Amino acid sequence: MANRREPADTPPTVVPLPARFLTPEDIAAMFGVPLETVYQWRRKRTGPPAFRVGRHLRYHPDAVAQWVTDQTHQTAA
């Protein structure tokens, strides 16, 4: 079985990270909802996807934007 490698002249694809990840407080402020609502969305898996950094909950801005788009399309359908 041969090792598959990219040609030496092809740079690896690098996806830049956002300037900063969003906190639950940011999400609550963004949508004008209480912080507890953001935590309920997480428990019910109905809100934007989040991930943990140690014990801290964070949201990727692109994932939040995609969630908003999905919510908009579900409402329109």
60 confidence band (pLDDT: 50, 70, 90) = very high
Number of domains in the chain: 1
pLDDT at 17: 79
Distance CA 17, CA 21 (A): 9
State what percent of residues in the chain have pLDDT above 90. Answer: 68
Residue 45 lies in a domain: yes
Q: 46 or 1: which carries more pLDDT confidence?
A: 46
Residue 11 lies in a domain: no
| Among 46, 44, 47, 13, residue whose Cα is nearest residue 30 | 47
Q: Which residues contact 52 (CB under 8 A, 6 or more apart)?
A: 58
Residue 34's domain comprises 19-53
pTM of the shown model: 0.75
Distance CA 32, CA 34 (A): 7
Q: How far is CA 65 from CA 7, 44, 48, 71, 75, in A?
A: 35, 19, 9, 10, 16
Residue 1 lies in a domain: no
Q: 12 or 60: which carries more pLDDT confidence?
A: 60
